[in-house]
A = this chain, B = another copy of it.
């Protein structure tokens, strides 16, 4: 697939090195980025006071096939840039800026995490989960505990008995009841909590498989059979919420989707049952994700 070439930076790079008349085109476009998007080749040629052919050549000079191609690439670059540049002429309200910032940061982080994900670890984890008789998600501290609950919420829909716990003592006791065929899934942003380290160690001792989802290189990562590690630079702005738990949830999504695909028929049946159980409660029972 063709990566979107950023014509704006391409124009900036060549700025000053264009042939004289093409430079006029560049000047005009660069100082009327947003407007140029909506103009035809002809209109641009008039605005820059050059011939249409020059405009066309200009397009080829910046690496496009012709004006058509240039026009679309410019529109795309402008669309992307305007989002994050928050250029000077923008009159976004404060709350619009807030939304852009937070969503931007989240998207950014998701993308970062995606490239860190070790696909081999994902594959191993899916294979362990798909064969699990039972999965116990554990996590402590508000965030990770919620991710653990989310994991349980995801996987029980696939017909696998699941549970989630945030109580360190309970976790250790629970771990000691697990055995071959069971899976303990430990979640921690720091990878340090003794509760989790203990629980994983206990569970392994009794023959259960263990999966960890945590910070790269953390003690917890080293202690589990399969370890999914992510290193997310937390934003320095302490008012900006951390994105790591969102990434964790996204990873749980990946694992759930992968597991579901390994047992398609079973899953369909379980989802059907769950949907049936909700018919009485809701008007809408189409083929949609289930549960509120």
Contacts of A3 in B (CB 8 A): 86-87
For A45-72 the 0/1 string (1 means CB < 8 A from B) is 0000000000000000000000000011
What is the bound-complex CA distance between A47 and B188, given in angstroms? 49
- CB pair A292–B107 under 8 Å, yes or no, is no
Identify the closest chain B residue to A142 (Cβ). Answer: B153
Nearest-CB distance from A230 to chain B (Å)?
12
Known A-B contacts A72-B71, A95-B126; the reply to A281 vs B114 at CB < 8 A is no
- CB pair B1–A87 under 8 Å, yes or no, is yes
Contacts of A87 in B (CB 8 A): 1-3
Identify the closest chain B residue to A278 (Cβ). Answer: B141
Nearest-CB distance from A104 to chain B (Å)?
9
Nearest-CB distance from A149 to chain B (Å)?
5
Partner of A257, one of B98, B139, B288: B98
For A142-174 the 0/1 string (1 means CB < 8 A from B) is 111110011011101000000000000000000
What is the bound-complex CA distance between A120 and B96, given in angstroms? 9
Chain A 202-250 residues near chain B, CB threshold 8 A: 234-236, 238-246, 249-250
**A261 at interface (Cβ–Cβ under 8 A)?**
yes
Known A-B contacts A149-B146, A284-B192; the reply to A99 vs B122 at CB < 8 A is yes
The number of chain A residues with a CB under 8 A from chain B is 102
Contacts of A82 in B (CB 8 A): 1, 4
What is the bound-complex CA distance between A246 and B250, given in angstroms? 8
- CB pair A141–B292 under 8 Å, yes or no, is yes
**A179 at interface (Cβ–Cβ under 8 A)?**
no
Nearest-CB distance from A151 to chain B (Å)?
10
**A176 at interface (Cβ–Cβ under 8 A)?**
no
Question: Apart from A106-B253, A234-B289, A249-B249, what are 20 other A-B pairs with CB-CB below 8 Å?
Answer: A1-B34, A1-B88, A4-B82, A76-B76, A77-B79, A79-B80, A80-B83, A85-B111, A94-B123, A98-B257, A141-B291, A190-B282, A193-B292, A234-B288, A238-B268, A238-B287, A241-B253, A241-B289, A242-B289, A245-B249
* Interface residues of A, Cβ cutoff 8 Å to B: 1-4, 34, 37-38, 71-72, 75-80, 82-96, 98-103, 106-108, 110-111, 113-114, 117, 119-120, 122-123, 126, 139-146, 149-150, 152-154, 156, 188-190, 192-193, 234-236, 238-246, 249-250, 253-254, 256-258, 260-261, 264, 267-268, 271, 281-284, 287-289, 291-292
A-B contact pairs, 8 of them (CB 8 A): A3-B87, A84-B111, A94-B123, A95-B119, A95-B126, A190-B292, A236-B287, A238-B289
